[in-house]
Amino acid sequence: MTIVNRTQSLEKIHTSAPKLESAIDRSVPESGPAEVDEETNYFATNPEPPYLAEIQQQVNEFIAFHSGKRRIALVTSGGTTVPLENNTVRFIDNFSAGTRGATSTEYFIENGYAVIFLHRQFSLLPYSRHYSHNTNCFLDYLDENESGTVVISKEYQEEMKVVLNKYQKAKDDNLMLFVPFTTVNQYLFTLRLISLELKPVHSTCLFFLAAAVSDFFLPTSKVAEHKIQSQGGGGKLVVDLDPVPKFLKRLVEEWAPNAMIVSFKLETDEKLLLFKARQALTRYSHQLVIGNLLQTRKREVVFVTTDDAVDYTISEEEEARGVEIESVIIPKVIDAHSTWISQHKQ
Ligand code: PAZ
């Protein structure tokens, strides 16, 4: 059996490269109103990423490798972009660095899961996150010893050894499959594909949807072919976005009806958070919504289920000592997953 490793999957797939053929097919009908079959319409009128078959093969190999041995979690992570041009110079983005997804992945692996990590390309990755996007340049971790060899500075060696050992074990045991996306369209096509491919293991797998997915997008039929010029429109750029269809409903009802699904709800207004989290739970009927506020997301979350709302927090002092809230919440999610599996055993 081929083991697909991280470098293989990342090297071949370029999610942020512009399409070579720049022409847009204007005969493609525009997205219809919300009442028509949104899924069929969306996937029929927006372009399928050309590398999807390759991802399908990698995912299938990964599932076959782990099936019957351990649970699989699909973790989504990072923000999606909305390109304004087909040959993309400009795009709308969001704040997410992928910290939640990358960190949670490490704790899932530590607790015996294999993880399909569907992430924004170049956002934080499990293990390397400890050194990649931080205020230190990677060269700051290095030193030259007496014999002129470049080595890890003494002060970082202990900590880096721990991270390196965990990373190498996860790699050697083939516990992570890295699948990248950049645009919201790539995210949706890839999420649907992976969800459907996971069908043979739905009853034991977990969907952990931490990505910050755009609520608005430009359908392919409305995307400019080339860089938008500043001379047109009186110097203004007026952007008219469509709502992204609510795919969580499709995921829960059709793509993965037998899996446990955990979604996240992000708000910035504290007064709205619980209401919106409960609303999502009622609307989509999945198992758990984890609510968090942009301002405090690294220290506080609330687990919302049909009959409860439970807060999990770490103190500022704990955060400063390097405690991660994911070390608290992932074991709780796993407990809930175990209960879900035992209650749904046929
Ligand atoms: O990537 P990050 O760690 O900076 O942020 C994580 C998060 C706030 C994007 C995530 O916890 C979350 O709430 N995701 C869902 C966002 C939403 O669509 O409501």
- pLDDT score at 345: 80
Which range marks the domain in which residue 43 is found? 37-134+180-343
Q: What is the dihedral of CA 52, 53, 56, 60, to 10 degrees?
A: -170
Whether 87 is in a domain gets the answer yes
Could you tell me the CATH number of the domain that includes residue 286? Answer: 3.40.50.10300
ipTM: 0.99
Closest CA relative to residue 180, chosen from 35, 328, 86, 54: 54
Nearest residue (by CA) to ligand 1, atom 9, is 212
CA distance 26 to 145: 62
DSSP letter, residue 156: H
pLDDT digits (tens, 9 = 90+) for 77-107: 999 999 999 999 999 999 999 999 999 999 9
Whether 273 is in a domain gets the answer yes
- pLDDT score at 133: 76
Which atom of ligand 1 is nearest to 297's Cα?
A: 8
Whether 12 is in a domain gets the answer no
Whether 205 is in a domain gets the answer yes
- pLDDT score at 316: 96
For tokens 């090297």, the residue is 11
Whether 14 is in a domain gets the answer no
Closest CA relative to residue 204, chosen from 56, 73, 59: 73
pLDDT digits (tens, 9 = 90+) for 180-202: 999 999 999 999 999 999 999 99
Task: Give the CB-side neighbour count of residue 209, counting CA atoms within 13 A.
Answer: 27
Which atom of ligand 1 is nearest to 78's Cα?
A: 1
- CB contact at 8 A, 163 and 137: no
CA of 231 from ligand 1 middle (Å) equals: 37
Name the domain count of the chain.
1
Whether 8 is in a domain gets the answer no
Whether 21 is in a domain gets the answer no
Whether 231 is in a domain gets the answer yes
Which atom of ligand 1 is nearest to 267's Cα?
A: 19
Contacts 24+ apart (CB under 8 A), 155-164: 159/130, 160/130, 160/131, 163/127, 163/130, 163/131
Indicate if the pLDDT at residue 17 is higher than 80.
Answer: no
Q: What is the dihedral of CA 116, 118, 124, 130, to 10 degrees?
A: -10
